[in-house]
């Protein structure tokens, strides 16, 4: 009987501790916010406040290098009977500027197919500075017969790109996944067998 009473008392204490921890966790965010604002530690909260003499215009992205313009050319290659192309062939961008281009794909076959795209860059040194934030590359897609899709490529060119690069070509090769590679033409095979 005594043991049962002690267990009930311990359970009550634990319930109070759990409720106190929940309440503290719930109140922690507003407490932190008020404390940081009072001490001037929360830079975002201080910066968002209206201050006398402060301009209401938000400054632009200071990481965009408006002194340079780079032409990005878009290319599409296919390995198979379907259509794949960029919605536009080129785009003028400033380093650091967010840009988007759409690629269009259509399965013109009478069967479903799974395919994917692999990108390449020219000049090669641009690859390290061409940062894609959204891309359909390396993902496998299944398209029904006659199905059309449009996929975005969202990218930023790093301002650290060498100043002598003024044009970058982004090229995609789209190929069917799991398909057999077609045999070489008969004339080419005979030439290889004879050692020519």
* Separation between Cα atoms, residue 3 and residue 1, nearest integer Å: 5
Mean pLDDT of 138-157: 88
pLDDT value of residue 154 = 92
* Phi, psi dihedral angles at 172 (to 5 degrees): -115, 140
pLDDT value of residue 93 = 92
* Separation between Cα atoms, residue 36 and residue 33, nearest integer Å: 5
* Separation between Cα atoms, residue 95 and residue 132, nearest integer Å: 13
Strands 70-79 and 167-176, sheet pairing: parallel
- pLDDT category at 40 given cuts 50, 70, 90 is low
Strands 167-176 and 141-143, sheet pairing: unpaired
Indicate the length of the chain as a whole number.
196
pLDDT value of residue 111 = 87
- Highest-scoring range by mean pLDDT, 8-12, 42-46, 77-81: 8-12
Cβ contact 107:113 at 8 Å = yes
Domain locations along the chain: 2-46, 70-176
**Quick one: CA dihedral 50, 53, 57, 62, positive or negative?**
negative
- pLDDT category at 137 given cuts 50, 70, 90 is confident
Strands 113-122 and 141-143, sheet pairing: antiparallel
pLDDT value of residue 90 = 93
Cβ contact 183:193 at 8 Å = no
* Separation between Cα atoms, residue 32 and residue 104, nearest integer Å: 49
Mean pLDDT over the full length of the chain: 79
pLDDT value of residue 180 = 54
pLDDT value of residue 188 = 42
Residue 192 has pLDDT above 80, yes or no: no
pLDDT tens per residue, range 12-39: 999 999 998 888 887 887 887 777 777 6
The CA radius of gyration of the chain, in Å to the nearest whole number, is: 30
pLDDT value of residue 42 = 52
Residue 141 has pLDDT above 90, yes or no: no
* Separation between Cα atoms, residue 142 and residue 156, nearest integer Å: 28
H or E stretch covering 26: helix 2-39
- If we measure between CA atoms, which residue out of 106, 179, 178, 172 comes closest to residue 136? 172
pTM of the model: 0.57
pLDDT tens per residue, range 48-90: 444 444 444 445 556 788 889 999 999 998 877 788 899 999 9
Q: What percentage of the chain has pLDDT greater than the value 90?
A: 24
- Alpha carbon 10 to chain centroid distance? 52
Q: Which CATH class is domain 70-176?
A: mainly beta
Residue 184 has pLDDT above 80, yes or no: no
* Separation between Cα atoms, residue 27 and residue 15, nearest integer Å: 18
């Amino acid at each position: 009987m005594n043991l049962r009473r002690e267990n009930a008392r311990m359970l009550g204490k634990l319930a109070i501790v759990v409720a106190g921890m929940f309440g503290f966790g719930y109140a922690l965010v507003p407490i932190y916010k008020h404390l940081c604002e009072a001490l001037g530690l929360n830079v975002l909260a201080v910066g968002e406040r209206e201050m006398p003499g402060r301009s209401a215009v938000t400054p632009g992205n200071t990481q965009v290098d408006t002194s340079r313009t780079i032409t990005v050319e878009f290319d599409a290659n296919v390995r198979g009977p379907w259509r794949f192309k960029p919605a536009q062939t080129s785009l003028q961008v400033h380093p650091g500027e967010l840009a988007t281009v759409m690629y269009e794909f259509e399965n013109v076959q009478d069967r479903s197919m799974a395919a994917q795209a692999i990108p390449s860059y020219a000049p090669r040194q641009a690859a390290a500075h061409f940062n894609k934030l959204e891309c359909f590359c390396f993902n496998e897609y299944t398209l029904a017969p006659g199905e059309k899709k449009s996929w975005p490529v969202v990218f930023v060119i790093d301002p650290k790109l060498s100043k002598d690069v003024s044009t970058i070509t982004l090229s995609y090769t789209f190929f069917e996944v799991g398909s057999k590679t077609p045999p070489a033409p008969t004339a080419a095979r005979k030439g290889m067998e004879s050692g020519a």
